[in-house]
């Protein structure tokens, strides 16, 4: 097992596969030596071509899963990722993350704990507005409204018994509603009394929040294009402006793979 590396989950639509590949190629340009693995169920994952960029792939067969997990395959995989990751220390990046700067310094956070994340832009449970009322109300019966909400789109952890217990509980909590994963993680962190190391906000920042920083000449590291930007095409538009070579490379990889699939 490799010491450390980055993992992407590229599941669902072709747009999410494309987004994960763009992110991975952009990261490879910033981090030439950092191990990267993409996990996906898609037949058009360009495994052979990605190997030329030092990017590994792992195929995932969703047909083995119960039917209730199928609509939210990405969340199922995410809550099981400690069992799929080939690394002792894993940095998960959601498919809608665009790297702007190297990320190697992040691993220093694991000197202070087993798991690290950035606080959500709405940093407490009472401010959470992206989940259904039923799940939020249930979570409020388990933890205080002022409990910190972390954004799980960038997640760094060390594989050990404590983290295996956390992930197993995270999956159980996610199964209660089978939708979003973030409040399920909050409940599991509280239940297992897991302490989270805070990462700097520039390692998981939205386009809205990053704009004034960039205008002021400050550096951001990981841009999180959340809120449906992948499906709407906004992610691709932003990527074209930020890392056009990565977008062009992914277009070529996917086109070549499609030709093989059709043949």
- pLDDT > 70: what percent of the chain? 95
Q: How many angstroms separate the CA atoms of 222 and 203, rounded?
A: 5
Q: Say which CATH number the domain at 93 has.
A: 3.90.550.10
Alpha helices in the chain (DSSP H): 14-30, 47-51, 73-79, 81-84, 133-140, 161-174, 182-192, 207-215, 229-232, 234-242, 244-262
pLDDT band of residue 12 (cuts 50, 70, 90) is confident
Q: What is the pLDDT of residues 23-49, one digit of tens each?
A: 999 999 999 999 999 999 988 899 989
Q: Is the pLDDT of residue 18 over 90?
A: yes
pLDDT digits (tens, 9 = 90+) for 219-232: 999 999 998 999 99
Q: Per-residue pLDDT averaged across 104-112, rounded? A: 97
Instruction: Band the pLDDT of 160: cuts 50, 70, 90.
Output: very high
Number of domains in the chain: 1
Would you say residue 260 has pLDDT above 80? no
Percent of the chain as helix, strand, coil, to the nearest 5: 50, 20, 30
Q: Residue 250's pLDDT band (boundaries 50, 70, 90)?
A: very high
Stretch 236-256: mean pLDDT, rounded?
A: 95
Residue 263's pLDDT band (cuts 50, 70, 90): very low
pTM of the predicted model as reported, rounded to 2 decimal places: 0.94
What pLDDT shows up at residue 215? 92
For residue 224, what are the domain limits? 2-262
What is the average pLDDT value for the chain, to the nearest integer?
93
The two structure tokens encoding residue 43: 């037949």
Average pLDDT over residues 1-13: 90
CB 213 within 8 A of CB 73: no
How many CB atoms are located within 10 Å of the residue 146 CB? Answer: 10
Q: Quickly tell me which residue has 């388990």 as its tokens.
A: 142
The alpha carbon torsion through 262, 40, 151, 136 (nearest 10 deg) reads 90
State how far Cα 53 lies from the chain centre: 20
Cα 208-212-218 angle, rounded to 5 deg: 120
Interatomic CA distance for residues 169 and 165, integer angstroms = 6
Cα–Cα distance for residue pair 203/164, rounded to 1 Å: 24
Q: Is the distance from CB of 101 to CB of 219 less than 8 angstroms? A: yes
Q: Is the separation of the CB atoms in 157 and 90 below 8 Å?
A: yes
């Amino acid at each position: 097992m490799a010491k450390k590396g980055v993992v992407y989950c590229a599941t669902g639509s072709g747009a999410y596969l494309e987004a994960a590949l763009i992110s991975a190629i952009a990261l490879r340009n910033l981090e030439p030596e950092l191990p990267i693995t993409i996990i996906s169920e898609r037949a058009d994952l360009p495994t052979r071509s990605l190997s030329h960029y030092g990017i590994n792939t792992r195929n995932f067969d969703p047909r083995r899963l119960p039917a209730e997990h199928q609509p939210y395959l990405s969340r199922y995989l995410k809550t099981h990722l400690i069992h799929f990751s080939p690394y002792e220390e894993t940095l998960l990046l959601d498919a809608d993350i665009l790297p702007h700067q190297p990320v190697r310094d992040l691993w220093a956070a694991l000197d202070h704990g087993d798991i690290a994340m950035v606080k959500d832009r709405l940093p407490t449970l009472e401010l959470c507005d992206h989940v259904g009322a039923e799940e939020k109300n249930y979570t409020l019966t388990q933890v205080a409204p002022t409990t910190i909400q972390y954004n799980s789109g960038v997640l760094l952890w060390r594989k050990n018994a404590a983290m295996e217990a956390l992930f197993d509980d995270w999956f159980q909590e996610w199964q209660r509603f089978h939708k979003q994963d973030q409040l399920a993680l909050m409940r599991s962190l509280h239940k297992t009394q897991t302490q989270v190391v805070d990462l700097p906000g520039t390692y998981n920042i939205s386009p809205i929040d990053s704009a004034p920083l960039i205008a002021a000449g400050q550096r951001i590291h990981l841009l999180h294009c959340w809120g449906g930007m992948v499906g709407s095409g906004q992610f691709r538009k932003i990527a074209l402006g930020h890392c056009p070579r990565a977008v062009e490379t992914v277009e070529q990889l996917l086109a070549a793979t499609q030709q093989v699939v059709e043949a």
